[in-house]
């Protein structure tokens, strides 16, 4: 049995990937180019500046560092506006029930998110109190697929990586979990998440009793 669960945020717990994509799309619109739908998957779990670099591959020109800083800031302003209206209804299926069960069973709960907006998102979703530790992009220096963010979360929980189960919807995230020496549950497409030890379409399909000991 595992002693802790470490979650990615966007695409695993929160239905926020669509807001990231909308914000990038509006940046592309302003700059006069369009984004193919595949960008939605390409920016999943990828930090802000690296996401911008992916977006700008579809622009017809190159951008200076100063221009990039300005565009990244603009995107974030728009994203922050879009998530201002988040409520517990924006939790992905199965997330609330799983977090509740883990808490009741005394399993450590950690967050490993590439988003610098993870805190306000957790608060708006009403699940901030469930987390025993939060590792987000504000506190780490190496983005996923580097294991640092998952190792930081395990450290915060005081649990060894081998006793942690990680949940991710992005390929780079699964790589990070495996590199951290943890077991990985992929949430979403089986094709994209081949490296995962187990794959579920969403958290309602997660087999709790296979991984965690139920106390009551
Ligand atoms: C998330 C999203 C990414 C986003 C990144 C940074 O990662 O999946 O698309 O670019 O956060 O977000 P922000 O601009 O808010 O710092 P995760 O790891 O939670 O899936
Ligand atoms: Mg994600």
What number of helices (H) and strands (E) belong to the chain?
9, 6
129/170 Cα distance (integer angstroms)? 25
Distance CA 216, CA 214 (A): 6
* Contact assessment for residue 134 and residue 122, using Cβ atoms and an 8 Å cutoff: yes
Which atom of ligand 1 is found nearest the CA of 137? 16
Q: Tell me, using a 6 A CB cutoff, whether residue 164 lines ligand 1.
A: no
Q: Are 105 and 2 in contact (CB under 8 A)?
A: no
What proportion of the chain, given as a percentage, has pLDDT over 90?
A: 94
Q: What is the pLDDT of residue 107?
A: 98
Whether residue 192 has pLDDT greater than 90: no
Contacts (Cβ under 8 Å, ≥6 apart) of 110: 4, 5, 6, 7, 131, 132, 133, 134, 135, 153, 154, 156, 157, 164
Positive or negative: CA dihedral 57, 52, 151, 213? negative
Dig out the tokens for 75 from the structure: 């995107």
How many whole angstroms separate alpha carbon 22 and alpha carbon 43?
Answer: 12
pLDDT value of position 30: 97
- Tell whether ligand 1 has an atom less than 6 A from the beta carbon of residue 75: no
What was the pLDDT predicted at 215? Answer: 81
Q: What is the pLDDT averaged over residues 153-181?
A: 97
CB-based contact 157:106 (threshold 8 Å): no
Judge whether 8 counts as a catalytic residue.
yes
User: Ligand 2 centroid vs 216 CA: distance in angstroms?
Assistant: 31
Residue 216 has pLDDT above 80, yes or no: no
- Rounded to an integer, the average pLDDT of 86-110 is 97
pLDDT of residue 118: 96
d(CA 52, CA 145): 17
Cβ pair 16, 121 in contact under 8 A: yes
105 labeled binding residue: no
The pLDDT tens digits of the residues spanning 120-148 come to 999 999 999 999 999 999 889 999 999 99
12, 20, 171, best to mutate for ligand 1 pocket (most atoms within 8 Å of CB): 20
pTM: 0.94
* Angle of CA points 45, 112, 192, to nearest 5°: 35
d(CA 151, CA 113): 12
For ligand 1, atom 7, the nearest C-alpha belongs to 45
| The dihedral sign for the CA sequence 10, 40, 141, 192 | positive
Question: Alpha-carbon distance 81 to 8, whole Å?
Answer: 22
On the question of pLDDT at 179 being above 90, the answer is: yes
């Amino acid at each position: 049995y595992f002693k802790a669960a470490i979650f990615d945020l966007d695409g695993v717990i929160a239905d926020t990937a669509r807001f990231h994509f909308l914000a990038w799309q509006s940046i592309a619109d302003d700059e006069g180019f369009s984004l193919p739908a595949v960008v939605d998957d390409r920016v999943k779990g990828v930090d802000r500046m690296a996401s911008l670099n992916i977006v700008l591959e579809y622009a017809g020109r190159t951008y200076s560092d100063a221009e990039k800083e300005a565009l990244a800031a603009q995107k974030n302003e728009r994203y922050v506006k879009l998530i201002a209206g988040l409520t517990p209804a924006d939790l992905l299926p199965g997330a609330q029930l799983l977090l509740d069960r883990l808490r009741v069973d005394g399993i450590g709960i950690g967050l490993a998110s590439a988003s610098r907006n993870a805190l306000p998102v957790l608060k708006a979703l009403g699940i901030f109190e469930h987390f025993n530790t939060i590792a987000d992009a504000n506190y780490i220096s190496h983005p996923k697929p580097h294991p640092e963010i998952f190792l930081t979360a395990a450290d915060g929980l005081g649990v060894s990586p081998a006793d942690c189960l990680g949940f991710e919807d992005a390929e780079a995230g699964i790589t990070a979990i495996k590199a951290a020496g943890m077991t990985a549950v992929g949430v979403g497409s089986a094709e994209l998440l081949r490296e995962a030890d187990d794959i579920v379409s969403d958290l309602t399909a997660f087999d709790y009793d296979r991984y965690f000991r139920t106390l009551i």
